[in-house]
Amino acid sequence: MTAQKMEKALFGTNGVRGVVGEDMTPALSLKIGMALGSEVRGTVAVGRDTRTSGESLGAALKAGLMACGCDVLDVGILPTPALQFLVRGRCKGGAMITASHNPPQYNGVKVIAEDGTEMGDEDTVRIEQRILHDRYTHVTWQQVGTEMRSPALVEEYIRGILQQFPADMARDLIVAVDPGSGAGAHTTPAILSRLGCRALTINATLDGTFPGRLPEPSPEGLKDLAALVTAAKAAFGAAHDGDADRTVFIDDQGRYVEENKEFALIAQSLCRERKGILVMPVSTSTLVEEIARSCGCEVEYTPVGSIYVARRMIELQAQGAKVVMGGEGNGGLIYPRHQFCRDGAMTAATMAWILVATGKPLSTLIDQLPQYTMIKEKISTPYSHAVLKNLDAVFAEERLDRTDGLKIIRDHAWALVRASGTEPLIRIMVESNRREIAEDLCREVREAVETALRSAEKSQSS
């Protein structure tokens, strides 16, 4: 059984997020620290990305943890997956001050469980309840926690990734890295260099004003990286979001690689090596499933959100199943041999390894993949849940999947309609291996959503 999503008040799909000085303040950060400190007993690792508000929010969070009896291990600026790697086996939990891909004015907190995965819904709801009802366990003066600073620990994470690959495997492969002035700037270029690559960098200074590009690695934002790749004749360009759990690629011709194709290519390579199950959200392109099955592997779908993917992978492995990899079609990929969370540096290193192993240019490997058309739309409404209920009846006769929202599955196409986890809107995704089928289905679903929306609005106003 796949974990069902639980409703959360403060925490979204990946932690608490907000605009600094408005909804994300040191006062809230202190409460998160106190709530986490009241739940956890022992040492909690705290890390942050490069955002200008990171130190201030971090100081408040750490104060809350210590006031409730936790010792704090401050590991400084590092990628979220590095913090997750350091928590496992060392700490009772972790907190990462980051707003991931959001613009510079945002910040937030991702809470990490003892096993290094993002905290699951049940524990998150417990922390939320403490915050909403101001219920904290403050300790006496003899039990107040202490802080230790160990920014050099990130080296363990770097070595953890190097261990996954043959030493010096990528001798003289030219690669370009754009960490976007984010947390990956001091890790990914170092990892690729130590694997033998000639790693060129752009936007590789830690800078929370993000002077080169926004933290979201979008095709528009990566034009400079694409220019560097073609000018330097690099094998690929790799770019991270703000906390470097995701990686997207520019191929050797300077083209942006769509993230489902990235997932499919890496899946193809791992599935050829070993057989087992791939885990991904229902929003992932069928391309990944097609590739996995053609290599003799199986796929399992989860609700949207990397935490559901990671937890399902852990469950399957505990049941004795072989889990090859997991991931989302947004450049966030999970490698169970390394750890059960999305890891951007691991993805960049895996791509280097694929290019060395195949001896083919990335553009050729991407062009060999089957073609799918995916269309994404969104419709603003505060009545997402009512709309989804109304829609259910419209498509009742069809093959439906309700893992997350409503997925309508047809022979050569599917459509997914779901309520956004973070904003008052409905997201529509449609995919087919034929463009005209995708366009027709998208029109049909959009019209059905609009009709359902009108009747939801009517019943709200009556």
Residue 231 identity (one-letter amino acid) = A
Closest CB 424 distance from Mg ion, rounded Å = 22
User: If binding is defined by CB under 5 A, does position 118 make contact with Mg ion?
Assistant: no
Distance CA 448, CA 142 (A): 63
Nearer to Mg ion, 100 or 283 (CB): 100
In this chain, which stretch among 93-101, 215-223, 320-328, 387-395 interacts with Mg ion, using CB under 5 A? 93-101
Q: Give how far the C-alpha of residue 4 lies from the chain's centroid of Cα atoms, to the nearest Å.
A: 18
Query: Based on CB atoms, which residue is closest to Mg ion, 347 or 350?
Result: 347
Q: How near is the Cβ of 193 to Mg ion at its closest, in Å?
A: 23
Cα gap 100→217, rounded to integer Å:
11
x/- map, 244-283, Mg ion, by CB under 5 A: -x--------------------------------------
State which amino acid sits at residue 92. K
Q: Which member of 53, 100, 339, 381 binds Mg ion (CB under 5 A)?
A: 100
Active-site residue flag, 100:
yes
Sign, Cα dihedral of 274, 239, 86, 80: negative
Residue 241 or 252 with smaller CB distance to Mg ion: 241
Strands 399-401 and 406-409: antiparallel
250 and 239 in contact (C-beta within 8 Å)?
Answer: yes
Q: Of 243, 251, 252, 431, which lies in the binding site for Mg ion, with binding defined by CB under 5 A?
A: 243
Marked catalytic residue, from 29, 38, 100, 384: 100
d(CA 27, CA 134): 12
Residue nearest to Mg ion (CB): 100
Q: Of the ranges 183-191, 238-246, 303-311, 370-378, which one interacts with Mg ion (CB under 5 A)?
A: 238-246
* Cα 338-342-344 angle, rounded to 5 deg: 90
Give dist(CA 9, CA 349) in Å, integer: 37
Residue among 110 and 194 whose Cβ is closer to Mg ion: 110
Residue 350 CA to residue 439 CA, distance in Å, equals 34
Residue 241 engages Mg ion in binding (rule: CB under 5 A): yes
H-state helical runs in 43-120: 54-67, 80-87
Report, in Å, the least distance between residue 425 CB and Mg ion.
21
Q: Which residues are tagged catalytic?
A: 100
Q: Which residues bind Mg ion (CB under 5 A)?
A: 100, 241, 243, 245
